[in-house]
Amino acid sequence: MMKLNFVKISPSKNMTVIITNYVDPTHYSQIASTIMDYEYVNAEQVGFIATPKSRESLLRLEMSGGEFCGNALLGAAAYCHYNGLTEKKSFFLETSGAESPLVCLVEAKSSNHFVAKAEMPDPLSIKELVINLNGRSITGSCVQLDGITHFLTDYWPSEDDFNLIIEEASKKIQNKAIGVIPYRRLAEKEYEIWPFVYVKETGSRFFEQACGSGSLAVGIYLSKGKEDKFNIHQPGGIINVETGVKSYISTDVRFTCEGIANINL
């Protein structure tokens, strides 16, 4: 049996567990599936803290499926303040799905509440994609990041449609994770999304309360390469997106639980 230390973090209620002691990457998938289960910590995703590759980075975050996760990066950034790893407001972190260290900025609101902001990797490509949904053609755009590809569509599906869309999208999209991100305009610079994410390695499929990389993808698509700012509303809260030469996301991050998980491998 393994005893693993964890923190449970809420970046706009996108419940994220970060395992804080070293774990062999070969066990990531099995541990994550167990941790996410209702019987254990009941989270939407699991990340692991690892030794960074560059000296300038405080730590490295590795997601269980090797995917990129914007909200988990915000959680890891806030963890650096929560756990006293640094008092600096600005510092670098590494993460799976990003080639280079990313700058993170953290402001403490209380001992367990932070506002975190992080630089995001540039998209590798943006392409149109048409998906067949029960005989209906659904048009959207694929924003490919290193580690996750998001299918953005202004078609607002029913809850039952999401698994069908994932099945069709995964025939045409090759990446470690796929997001389905329906979006609609609420007001000027205000949009709503309903994020659903599939991670191949773990097989997990979740309606996420919030999705950082999905919010980023919407912002990048809408800005068309220009400087802009958007507030992306989702079930768990609002994620702010800034686009330009570099893109950033930010949101409120709260630490709700921490402890020890007993895992039988």
Write the pLDDT tens digit of every residue in 109-130. 999 999 999 999 999 999 999 9
DSSP assignments along 185-208, one per residue? EEETTEEEE--EEEETTTTEEEE-
Mean pLDDT, residues 64-92: 96
What domains, with CATH codes, occur in the chain? 2-120+250-263 (3.10.310.10), 125-248 (3.10.310.10)
CB atoms within 10 A of CB 210: 28
Q: For position 198, what pLDDT does the model report?
A: 95
DSSP assignments along 108-146, one per residue? ESSSSEEEEEEEEPPPSEEEEEEEEETTEEEEEEEEEET
CA distance 237 to 137: 31
Nearest to 216 by CA among 107, 114, 73, 90: 73
179 half-sphere exposure, CB direction, 13 A CA radius: 33
Confidence grade of residue 183 (pLDDT, cut at 50, 70, 90): very high
Dihedral of CA atoms 207, 118, 41, 46 in degrees, nearest 10, equals: 80
Q: For position 162, what pLDDT does the model report?
A: 96
CA distances for 116 relative to 17, 91, 103, 168, 212, angstroms: 16, 11, 11, 35, 12
Write the pLDDT tens digit of every residue in 206-254. 999 999 999 999 999 999 889 999 999 999 999 999 999 999 999 999 9
61 half-sphere exposure, CB direction, 13 A CA radius: 29
